[in-house]
Structure formats: structure tokens, C-alpha cells
Amino acid sequence: VEPVGTKNDWEVNLLGAISATDIISIIKKEIEDFDWDDSARETGEVIWVGDGIATIYGIDHAMYGEIVTFENGVKGMVQDIRQNEIGCILFGSDLGIKEGTKVVRTKKKAGIPVGDAFLGRVVNALGEPIDGEGDIKEDDYFPVEQEAPSIVDRKSVDTPLETGILSIDSMFPIGRGQRELIIGDRQTGKTSVALDTILNQKGKDVICIYVAIGQKASTVAKIVSTLEKHGAMDYTTVFSSTASDCAPLQYIVPYAGTALAEYFMYKGKDVLMVYDDLSKHAVAYRALSLLLERSPGREAYPGDVFYLHSRLLERSSRLNEKAGGGSITALPIIETQAGDLSAYIPTNVISITDGQIFLESDLFNSGMRPAVNVGLSVSRVGGAAQAKAMKKAAGSVRIDLAQYREMEIFTQFSSDLDEATTQQLKYGSGLMELLKQPLSSPLSLHEQVITLCAATHKAMMHVETKKMKKYQRDMLDYFDSAYPEIGREIEEKRQLPDELAEKIVKVAEEFADKSR
């Protein structure tokens, strides 16, 4: 069939068709090879910045908790999503950020590097070393916010985590996977209890993570020095966000510490987490929330402040073997104002945790260290994990102390007391003296069991109250040198059969005769 039109027209049409085909193929190839730069599309700019908060316009698809990067390199985290803008908290100085500064999405949730090399190091809220000992080689990257293990992945608490503090291990035992709150006014020894617990984990295959929130840098340095002095830094990592750090870093640091703890937990290790303290954490979060224009509620805290701590502490648990078999034991610290346990933050954290150790100012000032209030302290779980030897030795100590406190109140004005009451008061004051413990001197299980066994069987009634601590130390040294098999049996079998208890009392009486 002849093409329509003249020869010249046909040639022109053919050439036009060829050139059009070429153009289409070129366009197709260009489309196939085109590298769609998604980040370029997801660029916004700052419309307001101040106090560690930036408001950004132009990023429409950001997720809550996502990291964004500012053009000067500072990172921020999306914390507030509104209709036409997002609110970010900054993990660094806002000096180089101003109105119009470009911001890019990373599509990554906030996370920190984790690994075995973090043990023995001091790091900041972002997992970066601040101890001047060089970079840390990471093994993995864990999100700072992660869902707590489900009920199916957990198992019951049945292994003790010994603090080495006689008053706690005997009356308020803590199990691996438990959350035990340490609460009291400032300067009542809360941090000391936590530090002694860390020191007592030496040689017990427990990894410790200490998180300092809003503390003075000098205080953190002192704590690190104490840990190094006692050889505890070998199995400890310190996360520090000091009072001079911005509120976002103080807010994120306990979650960062928990991310490292989860890395070890899922590898089957037991971890002890100390949050010191969550009162300052709540204050940092309140500052952020008010700057993000969230409505304040009770005591000026935002309504979601309970969720702030519950989603943190729920991550502490004991996993079953299928899920990894590790555990995170949490010791959160809360500071009260004038012993007010019914304030907003204390009641929140008490309801999240599995018990509390209440340290009282009056007891502390009267020389009782640690100043544990026997009446208001409780462990809701640890009894199931307490060593059988300790459970048997502690027996009636708590009731005896409660009776002593009651009797002391009634008899302080009375001069004429019968013999039974006098003996009861002497026994009670001796027990109180035995529960005093100097700093950084945790007791092993057999030392605690021998002390309680001798005390409850009235083998130390002849000792003056003032000389009780020296007598206890001398008696324990005598047991270790003359009868080391008693200590070995308690440590290995963790039981206290009647014959062993009788033997302990007999040796205690033997020592009493020698020391008279």
C-alpha cells in the first residue's frame, strides 16, 4: 500500500516517527535510572527555636520519636506532631540553629550503639564516651524506646539479687527481674544503697548500669571513683546526663541505659539498672512538655508523666529461656519532699514498682545507716526469690523490730520496768545496731545468715550496744578462720538445716565465752 501524500511528505513522517521513538526510549531509560532522593523531598525548615526545642515546618510524614538532622549536624527527635508543623527536642546546643535552618528526615527511630565494649566506660545520653578513653566499638544498634517483653516471654522471679545490706536482704529481699523503688528525702543515703548493691555483684555474673540524671558532674565523678576503687567498673557502665546538660538529654538518658541493658538481657545475662533519680527525670520532661505547649496538670506535670515512667520500668523483667533467659532488675530512685509519699511522682512510681525501700530522715539523723523504715518498706516479689537459708535465719526479725519500736515509744518515760521488758528492749536495740552498716561494706550470704542466727538465738545479748558492730566483725572473722566449712556450706547449698543452725549458735556461744 502506497503511503498517503507525496514522497517528500512520507520521508518527513518516517523521520518524525523515528525521532519520537528515540525520545520515548531515552525518557524511559531516564525514568528507570532516576534515583529518587526521598530525603530531598522530606526537607523542612525551622520556624522557631529556643530552650532546646525547635518547631519545624515542611516535614509532613515524620514519625513520633524519629530522628531529624539539622544542617549544622545537630540531631533532634520528633516529640510533637501538629497539623502543619512538628515539635523537636534537640540533642545538642541550639546556638547554630535559627529561623530558616534546613532540617532533613532520617527515617530512623532514636537509638544508641550497644556492645560488650561499653562495660567499664562512662558515656553520655547518646552512648558517646565522655571518659577520655577513646572510641567504643559497638556490636549492634538498639532503639532507645522499645516495647516491654510480653507476658508470654516472661517467667516468675525466683533467683535472688543480693544487695549485701543486711536490713534489705533479710526483710525486703530483691529478686532478679524485680523493680524495687528506693525512696526518701535528699541526703538519706539512697545512692549509697544502690552503690553498695552494685559493689555486691562482684563475681556474681551480673552486669550493672548506673544512670545519673541531672546530677552534678562532680557527684558522678565521685561515684565512678568509688566503683573503680572497689573494682566494680569492670562489670559496670555509667550513663551520665548532668545538670548542665539540656533537658532533652536528661529526658532520653534512662531509656538509652535501658537499651544497653536489653542488649545484655536478650543475650541471657542478668543486668542491674539504677536510675538516679527519676524525680529529676520527671522535672526534665515537665520542662520539655511546657515548652512544647502541652497542658500542665497536677503539680504542673503533664498528664502523660505516668506513662513516662511506666514504659521505662515495664522493660525490666525476667525472660524465659525461649526469649533469651536474661533479666533486668531495676532500682529506680525517687526523692521526696519532707517525707511526702503521697505526692504525684512518688505515688506514680510506687504503683509501677514491685515494692519500695523507704529511707527516713529521722532515722538517718539518729545514726541508723542505712535508714530503712521497716514499717513503710516492702518487697512484693523478692520473698519468692529469697535464699532458704536467709528466709529461715531472718524469721521473726521484722516482727521483733516492730515490737521494739512500739515498746520503745511506750517505755521512754517509764523508769520502773520488769525484767522481760528490759530484756526485750536490750534485744531490740542490739538488733537495730546490727542492722547498721558502713558504706561500701556489703556482707556475703553466710555472713548475714550467721549474724542473724546468732542474734535471734540471743547469743549476743551480753554485748553492749555500742560494741555490737566490732563484736559482730570479730565473731565473723572467728567463724571464717576456725570453722570455714560453715560458711562454705551456706554459700554452696543456700540452706539452713536445724543441725547447721544449732552448730552456728554453739560456735557463737563458744566465741562469746572466749571474748568475755
Using CA atoms, how far apart are residues 285 and 252, in angstroms rounded to an integer? Answer: 9
Is residue 215 a contact partner of residue 279, using CB atoms and an 8 Å limit?
no
Is residue 322 a contact partner of residue 154, using CB atoms and an 8 Å limit?
no
Label the pairing between strands 53-57 and 85-90.
antiparallel
Q: Is the dihedral of CA 148, 150, 155, 157 positive or negative?
A: positive
CA atoms within 13 A on the CB side of 268: 3
**Radius of gyration from C-alpha coordinates of the chain:** 31
Q: Is 369 a catalytic residue?
A: no
Label the pairing between strands 206-213 and 270-276.
parallel
Estimate to the nearest angstrom the gap between the alpha carbon of 404 and the chain centroid.
35
- The Cα-based distances of 321 to 127, 153, 268 in angstroms read 29, 9, 8
Q: Residues near 192 by Cβ (< 8 Å), separated by ≥ 6?
A: 369, 370, 439
DSSP H helices, 129-214, are 166-171, 190-199
Is residue 116 a contact partner of residue 231, using CB atoms and an 8 Å limit?
no
Of 272, 270, 268, 269, which Cα lies nearest the Cα of 322?
A: 268
Per the residue annotation, which of 380, 398, 405, 494 is the catalytic one? 380
> Locate cell 514498682: which residue?
353
Estimate to the nearest angstrom the gap between the alpha carbon of 64 and the chain centroid.
24
Neighbours of 396 (CB within 10 A): 9
Phi, psi angle pair for 226, to nearest 5°: -60, -45
Of 211, 216, 278, 203, which Cα lies nearest the Cα of 245?
A: 216
Of 100, 110, 119, which Cα lies nearest the Cα of 77?
A: 110
Cis peptide before 370 (omega within 30 of 0): yes
> Locate cell 535528699: which residue?
186
Helix (H) or strand (E) holding 328: strand 327-335
Catalytic residue annotation:
380
